[in-house]
Amino acid sequence: MQGLVKRYGKLVALDHFSLQVHEGEIVGLLGPNGSGKTTALNCILALLKYDKGTVEVFGKPMRPDAYDLKRNIGIVMQNVAVFDELREEENVDYFCGLYVEDARERRRLVDEAIDFVGLGGFRKYYPKKLSGGLLRRLNIACGIAHKPKLLILDEPTVAVDPQSRNSILEGIKELNRQGATVLYTSHYMEEVEQLCTRVVIMDQGKPLATGTAAELKAMIGRGETITVETYMLAPDDLERIRRLPNVTQAYYKDNQLRVHYDGGLHNLLHLLDYLKQREIPFNRVFSEQPTLNDVFLEITGRHLRD
Amino acid sequence: MQVFKVYFKVLRGTAAPLAINLCVFVGLAVLFSSTAPETDPGGFEPVRTPVTVINRDVDGEIARGLVDYLGGVFRLVDYPDDEEKLQDALFHRMVEYVVIIPPGFSDRFLSGQDCAIRKVIVPGSTSSHYVDISIDKFLNTVRLHHMYGRSRNYEASGAELVALAMDDLSVDVPALLKVADGRAGGDPPGHSYYYRYCAYALLAMVTMGVSSIMIAFNRPDLYLRNLCSPIPRRRINIELALGHGVFALGCWGILVALSFVLHGKTLLESGLAGLYALNTLVFALVCTAIGFVVGNFVRSVDAQAGAVNVIALGMSFLGGVFVPQSVMSKPVLTAAKLLPSYWFVRVNDAITEVSAFTPGKLSPVFNGMLVQLAFAAAIFSVALLLSKDRSVSSV
Q: Which of A193, A218, A243 is the last residue of a domain?
A: A218
Q: Are residues A14 and A117 in the same domain?
A: yes
Positive/negative CA dihedral, A93, A96, A101, A104: negative
**Cross-chain residue pair B216–A85, CB shorter than 8 Å:** yes
Same domain, yes or no: A186 and A257: no
B residues 8-27 lying closer than 8 A (beta carbon) to A: 9-13
With CB atoms and an 8 Å threshold, state whether B12 touches A42. no
CA separation, residue A24 to residues A27, A183, B256 (Å): 9, 10, 60
In this structure, are residues B243 and B60 in contact, taking their beta carbons and an 8 Å threshold?
no
Q: Is the pLDDT of residue B394 over 70?
A: no
Q: Which residues of chain B from 228 to 267 reach within 8 Å of chain A, CB to CB? A: 228-232
Q: Place B392 in a pLDDT band, splitting at 50, 70 and 90.
A: very low
List chain A residues with CB under 8 Å of B221.
77, 79-81
Tell me whether residue A98 is in a domain. yes
Q: 3-state secondary structure string, chain B?
A: CHHHHHHHHHHHHHHHHHHHHHHHHHHHHHHHHHHCCCCCCCCCCCCCCEEEEEECCCCCHHHHHHHHHHHHHCEECCCCCCHHHHHHHHHCCCCCEEEEECCCHHHHHHCCCCCCCEEEECCCCCHHHHHHHHHHHHHHHHHHHHHHHHHCCCCCCHHHHHHHHHHHHCCCCCCCCCCHHHCCCCCCCHHHHHHHHHHHHHHHHHHHHHHHHHHHHHCHHHHHHHHHCCCCHHHHHHHHHHHHHHHHHHHHHHHHHHHHHHHHHHHHHHCCHHHHHHHHHHHHHHHHHHHHHHHHHCCCHHHHHHHHHHHHHHHHHHHCCCCCHHHCCHHHHHHHCCCHHHHHHHHHHHHHHCCCCCHHHHHHHHHHHHHHHHHHHHHHHHHHHHHHHHHHHHC
Domain containing residue A282: 223-289
Residue A297 lies in a domain: no
A228 and A211 in a single domain? The answer is: no
Cβ within 8 Å, pair A47-B395: yes
- For residue A264, give the CATH number of its domain: 3.30.70.100
pLDDT number for residue B338: 94
Contact B6 A83 (CB under 8 A): yes
Lowest mean pLDDT, pick from A32-41, B35-44, B276-285, B332-341: B35-44
Percent of chain B with pLDDT over 90: 36
pLDDT of B273 higher than 60: yes
A9 lies within 8 A of chain B by CB: no
Residues A246 and A161 in one domain: no
- A201 and A278 in a single domain? The answer is no
Q: Does A97 touch chain B (CB under 8 A)?
A: yes
Please check the confidence at residue B184 and state whether its pLDDT lies above 50.
no
Provide CB contacts within 8 A for A156, sequence distance 6+.
A76, A78, A136, A139, A140, A168, A184, A186
A107/A187 same-domain check: yes
Share of chain B above pLDDT 70, in %: 91
B327 contact A CB<8A: no
In a domain, A194, yes or no: yes
- Residue A119 covered by a domain: yes
Which pLDDT band holds residue B393 (cuts at 50, 70, 90)? very low
- pLDDT category, B33, cuts 50, 70, 90? low
A23 occurs within a structural domain: yes
Q: What is the pLDDT of residues A1-40, one digit of tens each?
A: 899 999 998 899 999 999 999 999 999 998 888 888 889 9
Contacting A residues, span 52-81, partner chain B, CB-CB under 8 Å: 65, 67-68, 70-71, 73, 75, 77, 79-81
Domain assignment present for residue A113? The answer is yes
Residues 185-224, chain B, touching A (beta carbon < 8 A): 216, 219, 221-222, 224
User: Coil, helix or strand for A45?
Assistant: coil
Has residue B223 got a pLDDT over 50? yes
Give me the pLDDT at residue B248, please.
95
Return mean pLDDT, chain B: 85
Looking at the fold, whether A107 and A208 belong to one and the same domain comes out as: yes
Q: Are residues A19 and A122 in the same domain?
A: yes
Residues in chain A with pLDDT < 70? 302-306
Query: What is the pLDDT at residue B180?
Result: 47
Report CB contact under 8 Å: B227, A77.
Answer: no
pLDDT at A296: 80
pLDDT of residue B230: 93
pLDDT number for residue A253: 92
- The stretch B288-312 carries a mean pLDDT of 89
C-alpha dihedral (B119, B120, B124, B127), degrees to nearest 10? -60
Tell whether B125 lies on the interface with A, counting CB pairs under 8 A: no
Distance between start and end Cα atoms, chain B: 25
Q: Of A78, A83, A135, A152, which to mutate for an interface test with B (greatest number of B Cβ within 10 Å)?
A: A83
Residue B390: pLDDT above 70? no
Domains of chain B: 2-34+202-394 (no CATH), 50-175 (3.40.190)
**Structure confidence at residue B45 (pLDDT):** 60
Residues A15 and A144 in one domain: yes
Residues A159 and A227 in one domain: no
Instruction: State how many domains chain A has.
Output: 2
Q: Do A83 and B228 count as a contact with CB atoms less than 8 A apart?
A: no
Mean pLDDT of chain A: 89
Nearest CA in chain A to B223: A81
Nearest-Cα residue of chain B relative to residue A42: B395
Backbone angles phi, psi at B126, to 5 degrees: -75, -30
Q: Is the pLDDT of residue B175 over 70?
A: no
Nearest CB among B10, B225, B395 relative to A81 is that of B225
Same domain, A206 and A92: yes
Residue type, A283: N
Rounded CA-CA distance A200/B254 in Å is: 59
Q: A200, A218, A236: which is the final residue of a domain?
A: A218
Which CATH number covers residue A74? 3.40.50.300
Is residue A203 domain-shared with residue A229, that is, in the same domain?
Answer: no
CB contact under 8 A, B225 and A95: yes
Q: Which of B185-189, B194-198, B275-279 has the lowest mean pLDDT?
A: B185-189
- Does residue A298 belong to any structural domain of this protein? no
Interchain contact A102–B (C-beta under 8 A): no
Minimum-distance CB partner of B229 among A42, A80, A99: A99
Q: What is residue A200's DSSP assignment?
A: E
Q: Which of A218, A251, A277 corresponds to the end of one domain?
A: A218
| Residue A21 within a domain | yes
**A98 touching B, CB under 8 A?**
yes
CA A77 to chain centre: 14
- Residue bearing the bigger pLDDT, B298 or A95: A95
ipTM above 0.90 for this complex: no
Q: Which residues pair with residue A2 across a beta bridge? A: A54
| Sign of the dihedral through C-alpha B174, B178, B183, B187 | negative
Query: Mean per-residue pLDDT for B218-246?
Result: 91
The stretch B290-316 carries a mean pLDDT of 90
